[in-house]
Amino acid sequence: MRRLRSVKIVATLGPASSTYDMIRALHEAGADVFRLNMSHGSHAEIAERHAIIRQVEKDLDSTIGILADLQGPKLRVGVFANGEEELEEGASFRLDLAEEEGTAKRVTLPHPEIFAALEPGAHLLVNDGKIRLKVEDCGKDFADCTVIAGGTISNRKGVNVPDVVLPLAALSEKDRNDLEFVADLGVDWLALSFVQRAEDVTEARALCKGRAAILSKIEKPAAVKAFEEILEVSDGIMVARGDLGVELPVQNVPPIQKRLIRRCRAAAKPVIVATQMLESMIESPMPTRAEVSDVATAIYEGSDAIMLSAESAAGDYPVEAVTTMNNVAEEVESDPTYTEIIEASRAAKRATVADGIVAAAREIAETTNIKAICCFTSSGTTALLTARERPRVPIIAMTSSVGTARRLALTWGTECVITGDLERFKQAVVNAARAARSGGYADENDQILVTAGVPFNTPGTTNILRVAPCDERLIYNTDPE
DSSP 180-226: HHHHHHT-SEEEESS--SHHHHHHHHHHHTTSSEEEEEE-SHHHHHT
Residues 6+ apart with CB under 8 A from 279: 291, 310, 311
What is 8-73+171-335's CATH topology? TIM Barrel (3.20.20)
CB of 193 closer than 8 Å to CB of 71: yes
DSSP 30: T
d(CA 308, CA 181): 24
Q: Kindly report, as residue ranges, where domains of CATH 3.40.1380.20 are found in the chain.
A: 353-478
Superfamily of domain 353-478 in CATH is Pyruvate kinase, C-terminal domain (3.40.1380.20)
Name the pairing type of β-strands 8-13 and 33-37: parallel
Residues 6+ apart with CB under 8 A from 361: 373, 375, 386, 389, 391, 449, 451, 465
| pLDDT computed for residue 73 by the predictor | 85
Which ranges in 67-197 belong to alpha helices (H)?
Answer: 112-117, 173-185
CA 20 from centroid of its chain's CA atoms: 23
| pLDDT computed for residue 2 by the predictor | 87
Is residue 394 scored above 60 in pLDDT? yes
Q: Kindly report, as residue ranges, where domains of CATH 3.20.20.60 are found in the chain.
A: 8-73+171-335
The angle subtended at Cα 223 by Cα 125 and Cα 280, nearest 5°, is 60
Catalytic residues: 35, 76, 217, 275
pLDDT band at 349 (very low <50, low <70, confident <90, very high): low
CB of 145 closer than 8 Å to CB of 95: yes
Average pLDDT over every residue of 407-413: 98
d(CA 151, CA 138): 22
Is residue 193 scored above 90 in pLDDT? yes
Assign 309 to helix, strand or coil.
Answer: coil
The pLDDT tens digits of the residues spanning 262-307 come to 999 999 999 999 999 999 999 999 999 999 999 999 999 999 999 9
| pLDDT computed for residue 479 by the predictor | 53
| pLDDT computed for residue 234 by the predictor | 98
Superfamily of domain 84-160 in CATH is PK beta-barrel domain-like (2.40.33.10)
The pLDDT tens digits of the residues spanning 43-74 come to 999 999 999 999 999 999 999 999 999 999 88
Average pLDDT over every residue of 128-145: 95
The whole model's pTM is what?
0.92
Burial 222-232 (b: 16+ CB within 10 A, else e): bbbebbeebbe
pLDDT band at 311 (very low <50, low <70, confident <90, very high): very high
The pLDDT tens digits of the residues spanning 379-389 come to 999 999 999 99
Is residue 475 scored above 80 in pLDDT? no
Average pLDDT over every residue of 411-417: 96
d(CA 181, CA 252): 36
| pLDDT computed for residue 348 by the predictor | 66
| pLDDT computed for residue 169 by the predictor | 80
Burial 346-355 (b: 16+ CB within 10 A, else e): eeeeeeeebb
Number of H-type helices and E-type strands within the chain: 18, 21
